[in-house]
Chains A and B, each alone.
Chain A
Amino acid sequence: MRPAFGLLFWMLSAVAAGASVAPTIAGGEVGVRIDALAFPATLSRELASGLTNRLYVRVSVLDGQAVVQMRTVEITIRYDLWEEKFTVTRTMEHASSETQQVANITEVNSILASLRIPRLFSARSLPGNRDLKIRAELLLNPISREKMRMIRKWVAENSTPDIGADTGISSSNTIFNRIFEQYADGSDVAAEWRVDLMSPPFRPATLGHEAR
């Protein structure tokens, strides 16, 4: 199946590139650190486009196959064409946010290369006597299923049905190929760039504390 192949490909890509996710703990709260992500080669160019880029991160704590807790974090990066600076904003669960000004693309890449997302879960709320794992799903500029439905409707209205090699969707367009593969797999959000990572097993009580 293409979706499974696709997902496997992304996961393998991440593994091959050495991408990893590891739990962290500070002040009794568990966070994650994500290293060595292989972002698209065009990311630096996109970051400087003047438009807002979004990195959607869904972090789940797993007990075996069961999801114990889940948090979503969105990191937005936008470039001010006049100030020539980047603003990086981290928002958790649509609510609390932190903003920092970044002087140049090198610093932005440095932030993304070693992504630290603290204070996701209270350590006390996690089962302390079980081996847990962290799963991190990262999507760059995600597209919701509803949005794709609307776009497809738009496409249907703007193409001759059953003409030639398409029903509107360009057969060579990688964006749609990848996105539809993910939708066919049942994902609620999809993106052209997507990575799934899994941490080694851990117990909250054994996590080393790190400075904030």
Chain B
Amino acid sequence: MNTRFLYCLVALLLPAHAIAQVSDERRAEALQVQEIRCTGNEQTSCNFIRDHLYLKDGDALDEEEIRNATLRLSALRNFDAVRIYLEKGGQRGAVIVVIDVTENSPIAMEWIAGGSFRLEGERTLTGGRIAHQNLFGEGKFADLTAVAVVPFGGEASTEAYEVSLRYADPQLFNSRRWFGIAVAGWRKYDSEDIHGNFAHLDTPQFDLSVGRRFADFSYVTAGLSYRPGIDFSSGRWLRDGSFELEDGEDLDLTFKLTYGWSSEDDLHFPTQGSTFQLTADARGFPSSSTVGFSALQFRKTWSWLDAFWTLKIGGEPNPEYRSILAETQMFAFTYARPLQAGDNVRRGRWYIEPGYGLPGFAPGGVHIYEAGLKIGYRADTRMFGIVDLYLIGSVDVNQ
């Protein structure tokens, strides 16, 4: 139990809850916790549930702490509903605290399907993720993700396939601060644009990351990516008009260091807050490391005029250990309107997203300026989980 947090919380809440509190506290002082029980939990251990209530047998009953614990438990993905109530204990003044939970399905799903018409290339993107969010009844995660990008027309071509299996421990070493992620996957990627820029990747990949949270919403992670037998080659025009060829010589082992924060209230349906992430990687680790910044992502959402407005840089939040199910633009501004929930849809939005990008150079060192527009529908459905359907098109402004 983090007592400092508890004291902080109580201190902060006192002014707002001073109303009629004195008499309640007097009464609460008179009650003592005899026992803490759980009901309704079939897949979640009672210890896991009890750990969220900072009271133990013999403590004086603290109603404020019980309300806080209700909120803490309600915030977890494990539960659809949480109720805490008291029962008479063995003697007057002794109470049994009963934590009654309605568990969510531990299986979560996410699906994406889109049509893409970008820079003379036509392709579809389909993907899915199935996750178990409460392994061992202790809130651990495992998920399987598969994504396919299949070309169907156009002069440019992108074809990609990715499969990954991921395990994550949100509370590594039983610590609230530490978390860990292990990923095993395979990636295949081939692309060529109308200017001759191309890339080819075919590799298995194993990632191991350990992270630590700090301050309010920040975290750092350090991790290794191992790609045995990587097959990589790329060629691209540079600003000075030359054409650069690369191979995967220094990509078999990469060290990554990431700093990020997330104060958003939801990843798929944010109504407020921001997410930021910056990753630096060292290729050829540890012998001949070449250090560079590999990803910068920022997303901030405002709620205004019956809609949600989101500014994105670097696409959707995309930590290095997660293959996000989205097709993104480098800079984008999203206007999203909420849709009425129904029997099968918990919540939904349609959105329109103009964007802009600088995907590279054409012969002669000429910038490619990509202007795009994405329209889509995203919903949290009861049957299929998160569903994202979209169309995206873009043109090279120079052409």
Contacts and interface: CB of A to CB of B under 8 A. Distances in A.
A89 to B, nearest CB: 6
A170 B119 CA distance: 38
A156 B216 contact: yes
A170 B16 contact: no
A169 B319 contact: no
Interface string B72-83: 101111111101
A125 interface: no
B68 interface: yes
A151 B75 contact: yes
B242 interface: no
A208 interface: no
Interface in B126-162: 129, 131, 133, 141, 143
A167 B75 CA distance: 10
Contact of B217 (A156, A177, A189): A156
Contact of B306 (A1, A50, A74, A97): A1
Contact of A52 (B12, B24, B264, B307): B24
A145 B92 CA distance: 36
A173 B79 contact: yes
Contacts of A170: 74-80, 104
Contacts of A13: none
B307 A91 contact: no
A154 B65 CA distance: 14
Contact of B74 (A49, A54, A176): A176
Contacts of B110: 164-165
B12 A1 contact: no
Contacts of B87: 50, 81
Contacts of B71: 143, 147-148, 151, 175
Contacts of A2: 271, 303, 338, 347
Contacts of B216: 153, 156
Contacts, number: 209
Contacts of A153: 216-217
Interface in A23-78: 46, 48-52, 54, 56, 72, 74, 76, 78
Given A177-B347, A184-B272, A164 B265 contact: no
How many of chain B's residues touch chain A, expressed as a range?
35 or more
Contact of B170 (A76, A159, A174, A177): A159
Nearest to B143: A164
A181 to B, nearest CB: 7
Interface of chain B, main secondary structure: mixed
B72 A154 contact: yes
B319 A150 contact: no
Interface string A132-167: 000000000101101110111111111111111111
B325 to A, nearest CB: 10
Nearest to B218: A156
A144 B266 contact: no
A193 interface: no
A207 to B, nearest CB: 27
A174 B386 CA distance: 16
Nearest to B382: A172
Interface in A56-111: 56, 72, 74, 76, 78, 81-82, 89, 91, 94, 97, 99
**Residue in A152, A162, A171 whose Cβ sees the most chain B Cβ within 10 Å:** A162
B178 to A, nearest CB: 10
Contacts of B217: 152-153, 156
B239 interface: no
Nearest to B51: A158
A205 interface: no
A163 to B, nearest CB: 6
B265 A161 contact: no
Contact of A164 (B67, B131, B171): B131
A1 B16 contact: no
Contact of B63 (A48, A52, A72, A91): A52
A180 interface: yes
Contact of B86 (A50, A89, A155, A181): A50
Nearest to A153: B216
A72 B27 CA distance: 24
A97 B380 contact: no
Contact of A158 (B143, B170, B268): B170
B127 to A, nearest CB: 14
Given A51-B66, A146-B16, A163-B141, A154 B266 contact: no
B264 A167 contact: yes
A170 B47 CA distance: 20
Nearest to B221: A161
Contact of B268 (A56, A165, A172, A181): A165
A161 B219 contact: yes
**Residue in A56, A94, A141 whose Cβ sees the most chain B Cβ within 10 Å:** A94
A155 B84 CA distance: 19
B399 to A, nearest CB: 36
A170 B74 CA distance: 7
B179 A82 contact: no
Interface of A: 1-5, 46, 48-52, 54, 56, 72, 74, 76, 78, 81-82, 89, 91, 94, 97, 99, 141, 143-144, 146-148, 150-177, 180-181, 183-185, 189
6 contacts: A2-B338, A160-B141, A165-B385, A165-B386, A171-B77, A172-B80
Given A141-B67, A148-B71, A176-B265, 17 more contacts: A2-B347, A48-B85, A49-B86, A51-B84, A56-B19, A153-B216, A156-B213, A158-B76, A161-B179, A162-B260, A165-B77, A167-B264, A171-B269, A171-B380, A173-B75, A175-B74, A176-B74
